[in-house]
Amino acid sequence: MTDDAGNEVKTPVPEDLSAAQAPAFDEGMLDVGDGHSIYWRAQGPKDAPVMLIVHGGPGGAMNLKWGDVLDASKWRMVFFDQRGCGKSTPFGKLEHNGTKELVSDMEKLRVLLGIEKWALFGGSWGTTLALSYGVTHPERCRGFLLRGIFLARRQDIDWFLWDVQRVFPDAHRKFLDAIEAASGEYPLNAAEILSLTGAPLARFDEAGIKLARAWSGYEATLSVVNKPVATKADAAEAAGTEPARPQASPEETRESNAAAISMSLLEHHYMAHELPPEPLLPRIGRIAHLPCVLVHGRFDMVCPADQALALADAWPRAQLSIVDAAGHWTFEPGNVTALKAGGEFLARALTAG
């Protein structure tokens, strides 16, 4: 079926499940303008509070496993792929792809689905975007569940691209070697990483794919601390950037390459253009009256935990949980436990309100 604007809305049932067994969900493509259309999916009780799940990256695409950390009986969960990644089209398009456009897309999706207000659950870049939406549309927000806070300041970007080598010198050197192989030059600072990688990543050729895999592999290496339970391979799989296996089918290899390309290409694009354009912390007062749970791994090497503390200082009502023996990855056991508790707290707060 379609909505009043002619946007396609589907309620599919997998062929191998009966209607009674199949998880009920709606999905569709929303034309958001500028030549972009975004894919969305909604599931869960339609009379429950709504949680918009905001994926990371940029370029990471939705991960339905995120819904597993919430009580499915208490939330109507809405997922979407941001511009240029996942099932959104066109793939990898950088034109008209910025924070303000993504915030506008989220608001258009809210209107499409007829939702008055919703809570937002984001991780990593998803926290940046969730906060950007919140300070732009505070009247449409009910609360926030945020994991792995990324404030997108220059020092936060420089940490990921350069300063983290003090902890991961081997992974960082491998990353720089891959940049030299793709560009012909060896970067000497964070700015040079961005200046040397843009053109190779945008080519989508063999060299660009190798660089994209090196970029996403580097990020996956930094993401996991609790390796006995959550391995780097698990993290890469969850992020959609796992290396192509020797036994992988051509289709699996293409999908894996596409995930690596969208993640690296869009992360580069946003970092190079210092998006979001306005600092977040000075604007947090617009949503500081709302309930918020912050979950951050103490040993997060992608987004250091000082960002979570800075956000908590600007948001006195926020509950901050710094998780010992956890890093950046959503599914490390300590992070999952804290997120489940945070989701329960938020559900109670919204029901009571």
Query: Are 167 and 246 contained in the same domain?
Result: yes
Known catalytic residue: 73? no
Residue type, 30: L
Residue 6: per-residue pLDDT = 42
Confidence band of 246 (pLDDT split at 50, 70, 90): low
- pLDDT, average across residues 88-97: 96
Query: Are 32 and 111 contained in the same domain?
Result: yes
Confidence band of 258 (pLDDT split at 50, 70, 90): confident
Residue 351: per-residue pLDDT = 85
State residue 288 phi and psi, 5-degree precision: -65, -15
Query: Are 13 and 109 contained in the same domain?
Result: yes
Known catalytic residue: 132? no
- The last residue of one of the domains, among 225, 252, 272, is 272
- Is pLDDT at 21 greater than 50 in this prediction? no
Of the given ranges (1-15, 120-134, 152-166), which has the lowest mean pLDDT? 1-15
Q: Where are any strands of DSSP class E within the chain?
A: 9-10, 25-33, 36-43, 50-54, 76-80, 118-123, 141-147, 292-297, 319-323
Query: Are 55 and 136 contained in the same domain?
Result: yes
The one catalytic residue in 55, 269, 296, 328 is 328
- Is pLDDT at 249 greater than 70 in this prediction? no
- 4: in domain: no
Query: Are 260 and 283 contained in the same domain?
Result: no
Query: Are 116 and 200 contained in the same domain?
Result: no
Domain count, the chain: 2
Residue 253: per-residue pLDDT = 58
- 1: in domain: no
Of the given ranges (140-144, 242-246, 343-347), which has the lowest mean pLDDT? 242-246
Taking the chain, what is the end-to-end CA distance rounded to the nearest angstrom?
A: 34
Higher pLDDT, 246 or 322: 322
Query: Are 207 and 254 contained in the same domain?
Result: yes
- 222: in domain: yes
Confidence band of 352 (pLDDT split at 50, 70, 90): confident
pLDDT digits (tens, 9 = 90+) for 23-67: 578 999 999 999 999 999 999 999 999 999 999 999 999 999 999
The one catalytic residue in 37, 124, 132, 183 is 124
- Is pLDDT at 252 greater than 70 in this prediction? no
- 2: in domain: no
CATH number of residue 111's parent domain = 3.40.50.1820
Query: Are 183 and 231 contained in the same domain?
Result: yes
CA 207 distance to own-chain centroid: 26
pLDDT digits (tens, 9 = 90+) for 203-234: 889 999 999 999 999 999 999 987 644 455 55
- Domain span at residue 144 reads 9-152+276-352
Query: Are 17 and 147 contained in the same domain?
Result: yes
Predicted structure pTM score: 0.88
- In Å, how far are 71, 150, 165, 177, 195 from 169, measured between CA atoms? 40, 22, 4, 12, 21
Average pLDDT over the chain reads 88
The one catalytic residue in 172, 269, 300, 321 is 300
pLDDT digits (tens, 9 = 90+) for 277-321: 789 999 999 999 999 999 999 999 999 999 999 999 999 999 999
Sign (positive or negative) of CA dihedral 196, 235, 40, 284: negative
- 240: in domain: yes
- The last residue of one of the domains, among 211, 239, 272, is 272
Query: Are 34 and 96 contained in the same domain?
Result: yes
- 249: in domain: yes
- Is pLDDT at 76 greater than 90 in this prediction? yes
Known catalytic residue: 124? yes
- Is pLDDT at 236 greater than 90 in this prediction? no
- 342: in domain: yes
- 76: in domain: yes
Query: Are 181 and 47 contained in the same domain?
Result: no
Query: Are 118 and 179 contained in the same domain?
Result: no
- Is pLDDT at 256 greater than 90 in this prediction? no
Query: Which two three-digit tokens encode residue 258?
Result: 């596409």
- The last residue of one of the domains, among 228, 244, 272, is 272
